[in-house]
Chain A
Amino acid sequence: MPIKVRIPTPLRKLTNGSDEVSADGKTIKELIDDLEDNFPGLKERICESDGRLRRFVNLYLNDEDIRFKKNMDTELKDNDEISIIPAIAGGRA
């Protein structure tokens, strides 16, 4: 069950420039492990060493932040789309 994963600009070096890739998994966690198998280095840009989502990264399942679902245990189904969205913030001070 391939799931479309939208890759943001900062991570495209790891996907040979692709802005969208396919991955398999019944949960977000499995999906990220599958991404790592095909695009080494991607997992550590998304997850902390303990497997939690990194502070600077958001994962959206369709239109919902996975932090408001079951986080890494969020289940996936056919035609779902995942977007990796970097946290964007800053300011003068």
Chain B
Amino acid sequence: MFFNILKPALNIPKAVYDEMINHAKDSYPHECCGVLVGSQHKEKRIFSAHRVQNQNKDRASDRYIIDPKDINMIDRQCRVEDTQILGFYHSHPDHPDRPSQYDREWGQPGYSYVIVSVNGGKDVSAKSWTFDEDDEPFREEKIKISS
């Protein structure tokens, strides 16, 4: 139990969590994606989730690409607000909420990657994953939903 308390967590307000879930359902059977903005001191706290378009039009059902232009625009706003991009979310239609080999291949250290599983367009679950060094696998970070 004690170790669970020490494990890093990703704090997400319920409204933001619901926004990611709804985006994943709306986009089914395609993958959705978005950018997570917040602040990090002792803990990672997400303030907002920004929907962006999946730029992978050819394989939207099983892959996503975020336009760097979208990331640049959101990051510019972060500078004004004194927030930062803490991670990204995407959905796995009819697939578990754990990272694929392809997710790891493209993963970047330090970010949180929230994966929303959507089965049949209705049943959803979400987990967050991260890693610190390039040679490490993803590890789960607990999502703490606040009201």
B62 at the interface (CB under 8 A from A): yes
Q: Would A92 and B31 be within 8 Å (CB), given that A60-B68, A87-B68 are in contact?
A: yes
In the complex, chain A residues 73-93 whose Cβ is within 8 Å of any chain B Cβ: 83, 85-93
Residue contact A92 to B68, C-beta cutoff 8 Å: no
Q: Which residues of B contact A38 (CB under 8 A)?
A: none
Residue contact A90 to B103, C-beta cutoff 8 Å: yes
Q: Would A9 and B84 be within 8 Å (CB), given that A65-B69, A91-B31 are in contact?
A: yes
Residue contact B111 to A56, C-beta cutoff 8 Å: no
Q: Would A65 and B102 be within 8 Å (CB), given that A6-B75, A9-B85, A83-B75 are in contact?
A: no
A25 at the interface (CB under 8 A from B): no
Q: Which residues of B contact A91 (CB under 8 A)?
A: 31, 56, 59, 62-64, 90, 92, 100, 102-103
Residue contact B68 to A65, C-beta cutoff 8 Å: yes
Chain B, interface residues (CB within 8 Å), range: 35 or more
Q: How far is the CB of B109 from chain A (nearest CB, A)?
A: 5
Please classify the interface of chain B as helix (H, G, I), strand (E, B), loop, or mixed, using the class held by over half of its residues.
mixed
B13 at the interface (CB under 8 A from A): no
Q: Would A10 and B63 be within 8 Å (CB), given that A83-B75, A91-B56, A92-B93 are in contact?
A: no
Residue contact A85 to B63, C-beta cutoff 8 Å: no
Q: Would A93 and B109 be within 8 Å (CB), given that A8-B85, A85-B68, A85-B72 are in contact?
A: no
In the complex, chain A residues 49-86 whose Cβ is within 8 Å of any chain B Cβ: 56, 58, 60, 63, 65, 83, 85-86
Q: Which residue of A lies closest to B66 (CB)?
A: A88
Q: Which residues of A contact B59 (CB under 8 A)?
A: 91
In the complex, chain B residues 57-113 whose Cβ is within 8 Å of any chain A Cβ: 59, 62-66, 68-69, 71-73, 75-76, 79, 84-86, 88, 90, 92-93, 95, 99-100, 102-103, 105-111, 113
Residue contact B75 to A85, C-beta cutoff 8 Å: yes
Q: Which residues of A contact B33 (CB under 8 A)?
A: 88
Q: Which residue of A lies closest to B92 (CB)?
A: A92
A19 at the interface (CB under 8 A from B): yes
Q: Which residue of B lies closest to A58 (CB)?
A: B68
Residues of A within 8 A of B (CB): 6, 8-10, 12-13, 19-20, 56, 58, 60, 63, 65, 83, 85-93
Query: Which 6 A-B pairs rank lowest in CB-CB distance, beginning with the nearest?
Result: A91-B63, A90-B103, A92-B95, A58-B68, A92-B92, A9-B110
